[in-house]
Amino acid sequence: MDQQLIERIVGEVMDQLQKQEPKLSNNEIPIAVSARHVHLKPEHIEVLFGKGYELTKRSDLSQPGQFAANETVVIAGPRGSIEKVRILGPARSLSQVEVSWTDAMKLGVKPPLRESGNIARSAGITLIGPKGSLYLDEGLIVAQSHIHMEPKDADRLGVRDGDFVTIDVEGIRPISFNQVKIRVSERYRLEMHIDTDEANAGFITQGTIGKLRKPGVERSNDVVATHNEVQVPPEKKAFYFKKKLLSNEDIRAIQEDEIVVDKGTIVTALAKDTAREIGKVISIK
Ligand SMILES: [Zn+2]
């Protein structure tokens, strides 16, 4: 088969696979856990791995075009070092190291919590490769949790690039993440990124589903209720109305969902409208 034909077949198979992705309902967000990693600019790849060196792909990451490289480095701080820290490709314009706060304590450094790419006046760190080492004045951060998504997901979820939301995660140790930044781009795929400390705090593993909640919205009962084996619907007792006239005010004052009236009771038109509006049933005995 010629190369073009193969590429067309591969392209079509990929399209089919993408169409078969599980449909996420309304506010569900898949979560990916980012382990400590390094992004490097081309000059730094050469310092660490030798002149003209280019990263080699180990595996694709979920965000299109991003990959985990075969190459790793040692990162070192004043108190300790961590070996085999994975490099993520492709090469970037700025070198950046993302660690958890637990890692930072081991290294003896205090990196700020930042959005990836925002490294001005962040912490310093030493990188050691097989062919050389270098010290980054800045570039060490703890990554702020964020959600990647395409514009169509942003529309569906009612959020915009730069918004902050809350993500609730159920499980044996339920947890909510606040101040999670929304990042929208055609290049992204819907996914929340957290670090290993955040994942461990909620016993979260790769592919766990969180639920998006916009600021100011209370945590809904259905989220909390998933802990119960059986969901018990609230009791709906009837209220027996004894007076001769059932007014709009009466409807609003009565807590029960069903209001039972005598045959001769007058129900005002406004009372009927209000009952319909707030979901109460008026029945005649
Ligand atoms: Zn990310």
Q: Where are the alpha helices (DSSP H) in 20-169?
A: 42-49, 101-107, 151-157
For the chain, the farthest-separated pair of C-alpha atoms sits apart, in whole angstroms, at 96
Instruction: Find the 148 Cα to ligand 1 centroid distance in Å.
Output: 6
CATH at 164: 2.40.40
Distance CA 121, CA 229 (A): 50
Q: Are 207 and 30 in contact (CB under 8 A)?
A: yes
Is 70 part of a structural domain of the chain? yes
Is 27 part of a structural domain of the chain? no
One domain for residues 120 and 49 = yes
Is 12 part of a structural domain of the chain? no
Instruction: Find the 174 Cα to ligand 1 centroid distance in Å.
Output: 22
Instruction: Find the 136 Cα to ligand 1 centroid distance in Å.
Output: 22
Instruction: Find the 110 Cα to ligand 1 centroid distance in Å.
Output: 21
Instruction: Find the 108 Cα to ligand 1 centroid distance in Å.
Output: 25
One domain for residues 104 and 176 = no
Is 14 part of a structural domain of the chain? no
Instruction: Find the 279 Cα to ligand 1 centroid distance in Å.
Output: 44
Q: Are 27 and 217 in contact (CB under 8 A)?
A: no
pLDDT in tens, 3-33: 777 777 777 776 666 555 556 778 999 999 9
Domain stop point among 90, 108, 143:
143
Is 106 part of a structural domain of the chain? yes
Q: Are 40 and 87 in contact (CB under 8 A)?
A: yes
The parent domain of residue 108 ranges over: 35-143
Instruction: Find the 246 Cα to ligand 1 centroid distance in Å.
Output: 59
Instruction: Find the 70 Cα to ligand 1 centroid distance in Å.
Output: 20
Instruction: Find the 21 Cα to ligand 1 centroid distance in Å.
Output: 20
Instruction: Find the 24 Cα to ligand 1 centroid distance in Å.
Output: 19
Instruction: Find the 147 Cα to ligand 1 centroid distance in Å.
Output: 7
Instruction: Find the 30 Cα to ligand 1 centroid distance in Å.
Output: 12
State the pLDDT confidence band at 232, using cuts at 50, 70 and 90. Answer: very low
Overall number of domains in the chain: 3
pLDDT at 162: 96
pLDDT at 221: 54
Is 212 part of a structural domain of the chain? yes
Residue of higher predicted confidence among 212 and 243:
212
Distance CA 175, CA 186 (A): 30
Distance CA 19, CA 204 (A): 27
Residues with CB under 5 A from ligand 1 (ion): 193
Q: Are 165 and 215 in contact (CB under 8 A)?
A: yes
Q: Are 107 and 80 in contact (CB under 8 A)?
A: yes
Domain stop point among 125, 143, 161:
143
Q: Is the torsion defined by CA of 9, 11, 17, 19 positive or negative?
A: negative
Q: Is 226's pLDDT higher than 60?
A: no
Is 124 part of a structural domain of the chain? yes
Instruction: Find the 13 Cα to ligand 1 centroid distance in Å.
Output: 26
pLDDT at 231: 41
Instruction: Find the 214 Cα to ligand 1 centroid distance in Å.
Output: 20
- Position 145: which residue type? S
One domain for residues 40 and 109 = yes
Residue of higher predicted confidence among 258 and 169:
169
